[in-house]
Structure 1
Amino acid sequence: MKKISMETILGVLLFAGLGLLFTRGIQKTAGEAVTEEKQAAVTATVVIDAGHGGSDPGKIGINGAREKEVNLAIAEELKACLEEAGIQVVMTRSDAGGLYQESDENKKQADMRARCAIIDEAGAELTVSVHQNSYPAESVRGPQVFYHAQSSEGQKAAACLQEALNQELSITRPREIKANNTYYILKKTKTPVVIAECGFLSNYEEAEKLTTKDYQKQVAHALCSGILAYLEASGG
């Protein structure tokens, strides 16, 4: 049998080593490309503000539901939906607490200032403040989106969200967007902000739905669709 020389063996080992290094280099480059692609997909930033929290429960539903809990549940679902679409999300709160210190004399004011500071620092294309509505007459129901009266971008965003909510939630008597110039979070922020009142906790049927996981996901998906429509229309 023909003997294999030491030089041949070393040559084969050297060739195999170079091949392995080359393969790893390709894999690393591909990995970096995937990371860059994911980063490039993040084309916009959206702030999600789950209204109320801490010692402020918000509205108490006809069924005993606390608005702050419904708001956070929908906000968390909305965050997941937007991130899946490649949107960077900033949450003003991610737990049951409020944005204030126990030592603050006016906790509500401190909380609102903190929210506005987060929104301004984020410099987002849009902020959606998630809330629930209430009215003395139990028959009143349906989602409604508010925007600052002097914000043309806020008005555009509100229209996109309202349309998505009305269509995806199959609202039989659709409500229209509403201008406002008194709500603190609309007045005290530098970027477009809308307040999405997702339903009426004073309406028993709607309050019951708003406390279920399935309907919270439906609301969040509708809000997500509206946000994406606005971002696409505005070039975000």
Structure 2
Amino acid sequence: MLRYILYSYFAYIEPNEKKVMYMKKKWLKGAMTICMLCAVYLLSREGAMLTGKSITEEKGLILIDSGHGGIDPGVVGIGGVKEKDINLKIAKELAGALEKKGYKAVLIRKDDNGLYDAESKNKKVQDMQKRCAMIKEEKPLLTVSIHQNSYQDEAVCGPQVFYYKDSLEGANLAKCIQEELNNRLQVEKPRTEKANSTYYLLKRSEGVLNIVETGFLTNKKEAELLRTKEYQKKCAEAICNGILKFLKTVEINKTNVV
């Protein structure tokens, strides 16, 4: 467009010198205005892209672990439902929910496979070691490990969140997630978050980590619910809300200290 304007100007011949000078100034002013508008547009566009990127990076990384996988199915519940499958589906829903809020969510296990080598003599140990190694390497804001529960009494049901007994931040995160699960899933007999000192991930992982058991696969009603996409999404949304609540309290505490 600019090229056409300038070409039109120089091709134009006017015997009146004053008019030529006037038209020259007019066309040059118009050309400069167009150039400035183009520059403003490009800078605004680039600025918006950079701003969007910085917001995502500023909010940080959250790791999501799907318990079990591969040769390890976890709990095999009523109707043959496998814990590893439910864990992964909820983890993917949670990742999507967190990304909508501007966080970078990374799945430790992205598919049905476990985190072990085929030739490993102790696949379970290697699997757990690799999960801990990834947490150490990534240094996330926090990690949640999705699991399902079981009990010999089929009547037992409801979500349960575990944290390492000596972790104050872990306890605070667990409280936030537990409350959201109880409310969102309309639990008849709400549980409270529970300290633990024996689970491998809780003992060996760096940073803040919770193990979130979203239900009992040995309870018929809960097992049926956990197989549905709608309920999996509810669980993920509750966990997401708990995480956001926890991170908000962390930010408030930092502000108060400053």
TM-score of the superposed pair, with normalisation by structure 1 = 0.92
Q: Residue 30 of structure 1: CA displacement?
A: 1.6
> For residue 236 of structure 2, what is the amino acid of its counterpart?
A
Match of 1:189 among 183, 205, 216: 205
Q: Which residue of 2 aligns with 1:40?
A: 54
Q: Which residue of 2 aligns with 1:64?
A: 80
Note closer, same or farther for the CA distance 1:92–1:13 as it changes in structure 2 (3 Å cut).
Answer: farther
Match of 2:13 among 5, 9, 16: 5
Q: Residue 114 of structure 1: CA displacement?
A: 0.8
Instruction: Write out per-residue CA displacement over residues 196-216 of structure 1, whole angstroms, 9 at most, x where no aligned residue.
Output: 000000001000000100000
Match of 1:74 among 90, 101, 119: 90
SS of the aligned residue for 1:63 comes to: helix
Q: 1:1-236, aligned counterparts within 5 Å?
A: 4-5=12-13, 17-42=31-56, 43-235=59-251
Instruction: Write out per-residue CA displacement over residues 107-131 of structure 1, whole angstroms, 9 at most, x where no aligned residue.
Output: 1111111111111111111100000
* 8 Å Cα contact 1:71/1:131 also seen in 2: yes
Note closer, same or farther for the CA distance 1:4–1:92 as it changes in structure 2 (3 Å cut).
Answer: same
By percentage of residues, which structure has more helix? 2
Structure 2 runs not aligned, ≥5 long? 1-10, 15-19, 253-258
Note closer, same or farther for the CA distance 1:200–1:22 as it changes in structure 2 (3 Å cut).
Answer: same
Structure exhibiting the larger radius of gyration computed from Cα positions: 2
- Identity, in percent, stands at 43
* 8 Å Cα contact 1:56/1:98 also seen in 2: yes
Q: Residue 35 of structure 1: CA displacement?
A: 2.3
Alignment coverage as a number of residue pairs: 234
Structure 1, 3-12 or 195-204: larger mean CA deviation:
3-12
Question: CA–CA distance in 2 between the matches of 1:24 and 1:57?
Answer: 58
Q: Which has the higher contact order (CA 8 A, sep 6+)?
A: 1
Note closer, same or farther for the CA distance 1:72–1:16 as it changes in structure 2 (3 Å cut).
Answer: farther
